[in-house]
């Protein structure tokens, strides 16, 4: 995995599209950001190059900037699996967890389209076919000092022993510019299913979108 120091990540201005053409640097429109997320490809209006979600340049969303420098205690995961909270098949694997805002948006992507400029202003219900889980990081967790670049090339097995190392990364696909974690499933604690997206307010490091 490729890593970049927190100070080397560019942060977009609030409510400004944070995805740029990887060839000429033209800032995309919100519609193009939505196209990248839903159709995984869009055409740059400046240079005419077709860009997929891994060829564009992504800036950190302004409402996720705080995660460059802090790692909250609680994170969330949304899935179709009703048994995710106690699945033995996941014990030796890495899993992806994100903020409750990112899971809320990803939920809306799975269920219906959203106005991409206001992606965090989404519904509070959880679709009957989906399950939302809140997880807790163990006290002994070690967080990698840099953030990974999302090439969608992740390890699937937990190697070695000792305190777990958690990897933060900047999303290229699910809510581009949001920050999530890659963590060994077996090292998560207090995994429980929750009924809504409001539980983040119990997190000391919670930031309202």
Where do the structural domains in the chain lie, given as residue ranges? 19-58, 62-202
Q: Average pLDDT of 57-62?
A: 95
How much is the mean pLDDT over the chain? Answer: 86
203 has pLDDT over 70: no
* DSSP codes joined into one string, the chain: --EE-GGGS-BPPTTS--EE-TTT-PBPPHHHHHHHHHTSEEE-TTT--EEETTTSEEPBPGGGGGGGT---SEEEEEES-TTGGG-GGGTTSEEEEB-HHHHHHHHHHHHS---GGGTTS------TT-EEEEEE--TT-EEEEEEEE--S----S--S-SS-EEEEEE-SSSSTT-EEEEEEGGG-EEEEEESSS-GGGGSTT----
Would you state the pLDDT for residue 91?
Answer: 86
Reply yes or no on whether the pLDDT at 32 is more than 80: yes
pLDDT tops 80 at residue 116: no
When pLDDT is averaged across residues 42-67 and rounded to a whole number, the result is: 95
- Whether 208 shows a pLDDT value over 50: the answer reads no
Mean pLDDT for the stretch of residues 21-42: 91
pLDDT digits (tens, 9 = 90+) for 166-201: 899 999 988 899 999 999 998 899 999 988 777 555
* Predicted local distance difference test score (pLDDT) of residue 70: 92
Q: What is the pLDDT of residue 123?
A: 63
Query: pTM score, two decimals?
Result: 0.87
pLDDT tens profile 60-93:
999 999 999 999 999 999 998 889 998 888 888 8
202 vs 208, higher pLDDT: 202
43-47, 195-199, 203-207: range with lowest mean pLDDT? 203-207
Whether the pLDDT of residue 106 is over 90: the answer is: no
What integer pLDDT is reported at residue 163 of this predicted model? 64
Asked if the model's pLDDT at residue 204 lies above 70, the reply is no
Residue 207 pLDDT exceeds 60 = no
């Amino acid at each position: 995995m490729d890593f970049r120091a927190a100070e080397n990540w560019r942060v977009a201005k609030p409510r400004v599209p944070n995805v740029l053409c990887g060839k000429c640097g033209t800032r995309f429109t919100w519609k193009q950001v939505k196209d990248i997320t839903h159709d995984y490809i869009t055409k740059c209006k400046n240079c005419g190059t077709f860009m997929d979600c891994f060829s564009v340049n992504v800036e950190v969303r302004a409402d996720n900037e705080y995660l460059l420098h802090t790692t909250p205690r609680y994170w969330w995961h949304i899935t179709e699996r009703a048994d995710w909270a106690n699945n033995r098949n996941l014990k030796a694997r890495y899993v992806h967890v994100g903020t409750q805002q990112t899971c809320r948006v990803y939920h809306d992507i799975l269920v219906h389209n959203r106005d991409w400029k206001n992606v965090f202003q989404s519904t509070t219900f959880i679709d009957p076919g989906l399950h939302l889980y809140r997880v807790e990081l163990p006290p002994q967790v070690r967080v990698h000092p840099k953030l990974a670049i999302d090439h969608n090339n992740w390890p699937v097995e937990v190697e070695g022993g000792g305190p777990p190392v958690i990897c933060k990364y900047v999303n290229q696909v699910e809510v581009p510019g949001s920050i999530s974690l890659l963590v060994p499933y077996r090292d998560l604690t207090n995994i429980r299913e929750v009924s809504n997206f409001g539980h983040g307010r119990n997190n000391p490091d919670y930031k309202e979108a």
